[in-house]
Structure 1
Amino acid sequence: MAIAAVISFDTVGQIATGGGEAVTWTAALALFFLIPYALLFAETGAAFPQEGGPYVWVKLALGRPAAALTTLFYWVTNPIWLGGSLVFLAAETWDGFVFHLGSGTVADYVFKLLFVWAAILTAVVSLSRGKWITTVGALVKVLSLGLFTLTATLYGIEHGFHGLTEAHFSPTAAGFLALVPILLFAYVGFEAPNAAGEEMHDPQKDVPAALGRSATVAAACYLLPVLALLAVVPVKQVTGIGGFMEGARLVFDVYGPAAGPLLTATAVMFVFALLTQGSAWMIVSDRMQAMAAADGGFFTRKLGAFHPKLGTPVRTNLLSGAVATLFMLTAMQLADGDAGAVFAVVLTVAVTTLLLSYLVVVPALVLLRLRRPEVERPYRVPFGDRGFLACAGLVYAWILVGSWSALFPGVLEGVFGIEYDFMDAWGVSRLSFESFTLGTVALLLVVGTIGVRVARRESAPA
């Protein structure tokens, strides 16, 4: 589940647009963000394995209203992501490598709607069945990335690694500010399976072990394909929406006549992996949101009802599908249908809402560590409280920088005197960008505040 959720196929190409230094920063964040982040959530997830994960942790530390608002931002990231970058990348891949859809056509809309609701239905079925779909998706994802990396290596041996001559691996401040939000988004999410903690056999034992394995796999699945892509494709030709598959189109030439069928098969696997990636997040985040509602923290408890036979929060699942559909239809109007521009902007919206939720979740972990010392902790961060606080401080600093850079791109660049062309970077004006991103955040705050107040009235004694 963690591998299916965390390894984001849609971010591989976007990361690679940063050039050679993307590899450097990917490795740096693996060491200085991913490891302390995994340590924090391994300890907390094993100590507090209740269904709902981060919702429960924030509630215990800061109260139900804070937990409800935090969970809203965490949850809504996923229908936004599903109806945003995932569905746009899937449609672009299907259009270019499997079957022509066109842009803004009936076929394009039908494909995107089917993609969104197939992911939702995977979350609706019981976890005992749905988990196998996401497990197959995780295997397909790792297989696809492994095949691409191997093929790119073979292509480089035959034709030369010309991309490396243009890739500059020295880190820069501009590269850091551009890459840190997307890299943080790529690495977070290992706490996601805790949302179904009570459906694990032994969460106190399973959580730390799963975190260690999946973090290692995730770091490798970002570093190796990005390096392989940059080694054979000139940096200027790498795009966020087409990076991985366009790279595959080039390197699969080594297979001769079999290249076409292999490329089509890879595209189908790619789309399936994207779909199950969305499914995995729907499975865990919908449970969190349902727990918030069932606990009396968000609108009505009816929203948090779990189906008696399926054991899934069907009403929340359907709400996610409606939000994803609405966001997809809205995003289709952005930038006059320019898929590349839409992809980058809607991915940033998902990055923003998720990172903002961690600004509350991480302090909650610290408070639980300090206020609840009596709770059994099967796994502990090394060096006691000092080690835990050091990890939390480092992770929080990364999240702060990433959140600001995602919400207000170009501002920190201006502070440090770095040249920044907004239209060139995003393909839309700053006004359009900020209206979409800040408008989404503002709308969520309004909805969240109303949801908390309605829940209070419902819970108040008559």
Structure 2
Amino acid sequence: MSVPAPVPHLRRSLRRFDIMAMGVAAVVSFDVIGQIAAGGGQAITWIAVLAVSFLLPYALLFAETGAAFPQEGGPYVWVDVAFGRLPAALTTMFYWVTNPVWLGGSLAFLAARAWNGFVFPLGSGTTADYVFKLVFIWAAILTAVVSLRRGKWITTAGAAAKVLALAFFTATAVAYGIRHGFRGLTEAHFTPTAAGFLALVPVLLFAYVGFEAPNAAGDEMLDAQHDVPVAIGVSGAIAAACYLLPVAAILSAAPPGQVTGVGGFMDAAELVFGIYGGWRGPLLTAAAVLFAVALLTQGSAWMIVADRMQAMAAADGGFFTRALGAFHPRLGTPVRMNLLSGVTATAFMIAAMHLAHGDASDIFGVVLAVAITTLLLSYLTVIPALLALRLRHGEVPRPYRVPFGTPGFTVAALVVYAWILLGSWVALFPGTLEAAVGIPYNFRAVWGVSRSTFETFTLGTVGLLLAVAGAGYVTQRMRAQPGDDQCQSGPAG
């Protein structure tokens, strides 16, 4: 068995706490909290159900694999070793592109909305709106360009700010409920329904995946084999709490039916901060600034890891030119791939601005659906790769093992794969399963655009990614020199 050769210029600087903080910064998503809360009381039920039936087996799988295969590139290496370079290149393209799409669409739009409403008026589709989103995108890119031993503190600060903001908001919502009554919760319907399940499953899966992301910087960890399992376990527990408690707080305060995906968190904060009297305005402004910064560091955390994955694919001969896989000799970061991510995020932001004529709510929902689709589709290859590595390469030392050995690993992989398959279909073809079981579904009322516009944007994105990834692989294969593969591979660590 061989893996891509170690990358020069890397320094081991990630400790267990850093890995955990990077996982929290990447996975706990401010942008989906409002989207989840829009599902009503049953959202709390499904958060708990998926925490047990999806997040737990998912964390077990990646804790074992991340400790056994800690090479730089993470999931790219796992799919490459399991199935070969072409499947790895295609998988990595979907995993990587999710992040500039998400940064340029969902995160930038949500940050701009909060800034416009509580800090400084930007308008919609104005020059100020464009400038804010451009600054937001490129600030996130620049924080990914700096060396990881410095950049990790940015993501750590973002993770801390995120957890503190959510804790403060939750405590404030409890105080608001004590004073005014928990009318939102008493009127919420917690009984799960098929319609609610199909609406929530893609966004909940999107909210829970990504704990393997720090493994993309595996060669920059001090002790990946022992730190990864613990970091995944701790960050997974923190993430579950950071979704369950704030969603419950939003539902307790916001009037039923008034929670929206794009405005849920800040709209609820605007309501509950009323208990602070004259301090309400300054606190809301501070919360909006913190909200935008947390979103920025969230995008930065994903850029740090996803750009490393795509750079490893390029360096290994799977994406256009090996030059895109070069790591800066002083910074130790894939600067060219970082810049490509920035350009991609900018292009997607401009495309999204024209998608629904500047309607932020419609843009947010559709772009988030695209990001959910591309990320979940990548796991359709990653999960089988984990099982293949377990079955074919049992000789690799595994400091942590899933309970019950290979049978336990296999069951966990099948359960996770079933969830991912369901979530991918619902994200790519919303409304089809509802129609199959007789549940009414008004597409335009849900998404704000027609089905043809939605599918053109989502299926068009998927088709374009497949074409670009395939072209990148073929181009590099045509340019490859004899002996390249041997030069680019090394023994498994």
Regarding TM over 0.5, the answer is: yes
Could you tell me how far apart the structure 2 residues matched to 1:163 and 1:266 are? 22
Instruction: Within 5 Å, give how 1:307-326 maps onto structure 2.
Output: 307-326=328-347
Shift of 1:165: 3.0
Q: Corresponding residue for 2:220?
A: 199
Select 2:91's aligned residue among 62, 70, 82.
70
Q: Does 1:54 align with 2:75?
A: yes
Shift of 1:164: 1.5
Q: Corresponding residue for 2:138?
A: 117
Could you tell me how far apart the structure 2 residues matched to 1:129 and 1:86 are? 23
- SS of the aligned residue for 1:336 comes to coil
Name stretches of at least 5 consecutive residues in structure 2 with no aligned partner: 1-21, 484-493
- SS of the aligned residue for 2:73 comes to coil
Q: Does 1:355 align with 2:390?
A: no
Instruction: Within 5 Å, give how 1:37-48 maps onto structure 2.
Output: 37-48=58-69
Could you tell me how far apart the structure 2 residues matched to 1:17 and 1:294 are? 43
| TM-score normalised over the length of structure 1 | 0.99
Q: Deviations over 1:247-270 (max 9, x none)?
A: 000000111111111111011000
Q: Does 1:134 align with 2:165?
A: no
Instruction: Within 5 Å, give how 1:23-422 maps onto structure 2.
Output: 23-422=44-443
Identity between Structure 1 and Structure 2 (%) = 72
Corresponding letter in the other structure for 1:397: A
Could you tell me how far apart the structure 1 residues matched to 2:69 and 2:58 are? 16
Structure 1 segments, 4+ long, off by >3 Å, are none
Could you tell me how far apart the structure 2 residues matched to 1:403 and 1:145 are? 29
Could you tell me how far apart the structure 2 residues matched to 1:336 and 1:123 are? 31
| TM-score normalised over the length of structure 2 | 0.93
Q: CA RMSD in A?
A: 0.7
Instruction: Within 5 Å, give how 1:407-446 maps onto structure 2.
Output: 407-446=428-467
Shift of 1:167: 1.1
CA contact (8 A) 1:17 1:235 kept: no
Q: Deviations over 1:224-267 (max 9, x none)?
A: 00001001112311000000000000000111111111111011
CA contact (8 A) 1:286 1:316 kept: yes
Corresponding letter in the other structure for 1:405: V
Could you tell me how far apart the structure 2 residues matched to 1:284 and 1:405 are? 27
Name stretches of at least 5 consecutive residues in structure 1 with no aligned partner: none
Could you tell me how far apart the structure 1 residues matched to 2:478 and 2:329 are? 27
Corresponding letter in the other structure for 1:346: V
Q: Corresponding residue for 2:486?
A: none
Shift of 1:274: 0.0
- SS of the aligned residue for 1:376 comes to coil
Could you tell me how far apart the structure 1 residues matched to 2:269 and 2:379 are? 35
Q: Corresponding residue for 1:3?
A: 24
- SS of the aligned residue for 1:237 comes to coil
Could you tell me how far apart the structure 2 residues matched to 1:232 and 1:162 are? 7
Could you tell me how far apart the structure 2 residues matched to 1:363 and 1:206 are? 24
How many residue pairs get aligned? The number is 462
